[in-house]
Structure 1
């Protein structure tokens, strides 16, 4: 894992970064054994926190994602409340699509809905690119956050975030969330040239979005492939892997930890590791020691408590947390997390106690 620079190194995009020497999250991402077990939670910023609902009461989701002060406040809330070892930028998978000028909105009870689905070569050719100016509010939010998150061993790393090309494509082709991804797979199988042109465009979009976050000062990045688990390993390698690899390779010179995560991807873990991530996220469907063998050497793992366990009471949470920590020792580094995002009805106090438990163990 020597391709990750030290926390005090120079970044070719940004210059001098925050001194976060000793930060447990960054140490684990480098394959080291830090002073304490690092823990953070996907979707920790928002959803389950009453202070989140209070501050976002009159603001639409995507509007909030483009409001720097609000992004900063929401991102900081779980750090203050839970004492997690990393903050993740409050954002959404479709934010770079919206920033590029694509008609997309998040509809309550449905999710992202695309105004004009992309299903032909002409549709792909008409897709806009992403300009730095369009991402300026997100970059400003990152700068606000790095000023608030501290330095040294007491500083909290900030994780940047983007959706992976396949997941972005699935929303664009389907026009919204899909259970079976039938239109997406139909395009993939019937018109590979248009498919690869679409994913190539989206890889450039995701890379541009992440590079702007890196330039503004994030300390790690996560490429999130929500729907990759809908694919066989064969199809993933043929139709998706080259494009996710292009995004991760485009971040290699930044020297920051690169996390790659998907849902239902137990059979894809080896291929996802080959895409170039330093840390591979693992959902709850596969034990971490088994996942570590599939991923192979040179990678840390992230995960993988089932979010539903948080509703089962403190004894069950402790039993599962201990099991996951034991299984995580099989990997070169382990960042404790959920196997997916925090569920909206989760009691925030349960998360706080889980962080305390993981740190104590």
Structure 2
């Protein structure tokens, strides 16, 4: 039995004494302990070495003490497993040296045997569960098919993902074939994570907001929904789409247990769009953690008042930034733990 099950109870829509709290990218660059390991080991070495991944996962549990852990990994381990080369370059980010630009390229991409290619992730889950010792739940995650597709086709990060969008619109058959391969792989990957011991799953649709509502329905949500449908009977699924407030109403009709909201959508609008019946997660602007600590605490309490303490998980509206002081991250967590109506 998990000792602190507040996060899981909120996902179930139960009445809670206070909302649970965790932070996207909480195992990350704002922590000196993380930076010490980063200086010794390159990024994918950290992802692929279970001892390192599990240590990084539990660092924030010891230091800032959120109500859930999220496994340290990366969304791009999935395309790597599918035969797409991915490199991480300092000060640039992920690079795909041979981006997908044709049906011939799509045909070379394969659906892998998960334990053969991604067994190191399952080993990290086992080690992390042991280290957590049932203190808090463990979240597993994957990128949305559209978000993975963006990197695979664009070849790198982008402000607009014009090449990825252009491929969808000029070569829709090839685009849908690639999106389906990513979806099928992601379902197998997440099912294996659940079998290995994660307590919930989050799907990150980081670049969904780049699409119009019509194109989002065709090139992103259609595939996320397949993942939700495949996993919903096995675990709790959270869907987070950055910039996708326009799809919240549709998302709320799915089998997802919770929906992430970014800071561009206020709590009242998010509740209205989702009908008030589904757990929401978010949506503190990560940059706001640079505010003075008393301001952070005041704003967090106001945010909880606006969302309501039930069917709500406190989080940021995107990942925590590397320049956030640790004391400010702690203050964010503490503000939630101190909350009382």
Distance 1:242 1:183 in 2: 20
2:121 is aligned to 138
Q: CA deviation at 1:223?
A: 0.4
Distance 1:196 1:212 in 2: 24
SS at structure 1 position matched to 2:251: helix
Distance 1:240 1:316 in 2: 37
Q: CA deviation at 1:297?
A: 4.6
Determine whether 1:319 maps to 2:298.
yes
Pick closer, same or farther for the CA change 1:37–1:250 going to 2, 3 Å: same
Determine whether 1:235 maps to 2:215.
yes
Alignment of 1:2-13 (within 5 A): none
2:336 is aligned to 358
Pick closer, same or farther for the CA change 1:239–1:99 going to 2, 3 Å: closer
Q: CA deviation at 1:142?
A: 0.3
Alignment of 1:161-180 (within 5 A): 161-180=141-160
2:166 aligns with one of 181, 186, 189:
186
Distance 2:125 2:32 in 1: 23
Q: Deviations over 1:68-93 (max 9, x none)?
A: 00000000000001110000010111
Alignment of 1:175-254 (within 5 A): 175-254=155-234
Distance 1:190 1:281 in 2: 31
1:333 is aligned to 311
Determine whether 1:33 maps to 2:26.
no
What's the TM-score, normalizing by structure 2? 0.95
Q: CA deviation at 1:189?
A: 1.4
Say if 2:4 and 2:136, in contact at 8 Å, map to a contact too: no
1:299 is aligned to 278
Distance 2:129 2:272 in 1: 35
2:75 is aligned to 93
SS at structure 2 position matched to 1:240: helix
Determine whether 1:53 maps to 2:35.
yes
2:91 aligns with one of 93, 96, 109:
109
Tell me the C-alpha RMSD between the 2 structures.
1.5
Q: Deviations over 1:185-223 (max 9, x none)?
A: 111112221111111111012112211211110000000
Say if 2:301 and 2:335, in contact at 8 Å, map to a contact too: no
Determine whether 1:84 maps to 2:63.
no
Distance 1:106 1:62 in 2: 8
- Structure 1: tracts of 5 or more residues without a match: 1-18
Q: Deviations over 1:263-291 (max 9, x none)?
A: 11222222333453211000011112211
Distance 1:264 1:42 in 2: 16
Aligned residues: 338
Pick closer, same or farther for the CA change 1:110–1:273 going to 2, 3 Å: farther
1:309 aligns with one of 288, 297, 301:
288
Q: CA deviation at 1:21?
A: 6.8
Of stretches 321-330 and 35-44 in structure 1, the one that deviates more from structure 2 is 321-330
1:157 is aligned to 137
Pick closer, same or farther for the CA change 1:206–1:219 going to 2, 3 Å: same
- Structure 2: tracts of 5 or more residues without a match: none
Distance 1:341 1:55 in 2: 19
Say if 1:244 and 1:275, in contact at 8 Å, map to a contact too: no
Say if 2:144 and 2:220, in contact at 8 Å, map to a contact too: no
2:243 is aligned to 264
